[in-house]
Amino acid sequence: MATQQLESKWEGKSIANLKLPKAEQVWPLLEDFFNFHNWLPNIDTCHQMNSDNKDEIVRYCANTVPPSSSDDGEAIIKWCYEKLLTIDKIERCLSYEVLDNNIGIRSYVSTLKVLSSDGEDEGGCQIEWSFVADPIDGLTLELFSGYVDSSLQGMAENMEKAFESSKLGDFASSN
């Protein structure tokens, strides 16, 4: 009987600081599980999928990668099906896992949290993105953690811009 050495799980955490909006303003943007594509720079589409299990909430997220000059002219669609595991409106956090994908992820569970700033009356908040995953072929933990961090920083930047240039602040503060 052959034995296989089990690889250890990858774990990581990134934090993004938002200067303008408060945690209670940012949370509704993340709480909408099907709204990811509006904030994450590298996601083109995100929508609810029908599930055989009525208790499961599953989303489809995808990104279209344009062909490079060395490709045969075909765009590549990278996709994931993700299941909502938990959502806590009081703690302002949600967790989800990747069910299926075409990008080499075998096991991935992520938690997003929106944290208040230290000062009660000050604006600003933090978004924390943590994950536990099986190693991904062709990547190192450092590369994958860098991808998560740059995705989170891009998300925070998009949210900041939305609050600066629109009435999102009015919408979020009224909820």
For residue range 43-58, what is the model confidence (pLDDT) as tens digits? Answer: 999 999 987 777 899 9
pLDDT score, position 123: 75
- Sheet architecture: strand order including 125-133: 10-18, 125-133, 108-116, 93-101, 76-88, 58-65, 45-49
- 42-99 pLDDT tens trace: 899 999 998 777 789 999 999 998 887 666 678 899 999 999 999 999 999 999 999 9
pLDDT score, position 52: 79
What percent of the chain shows pLDDT beyond 90?
71
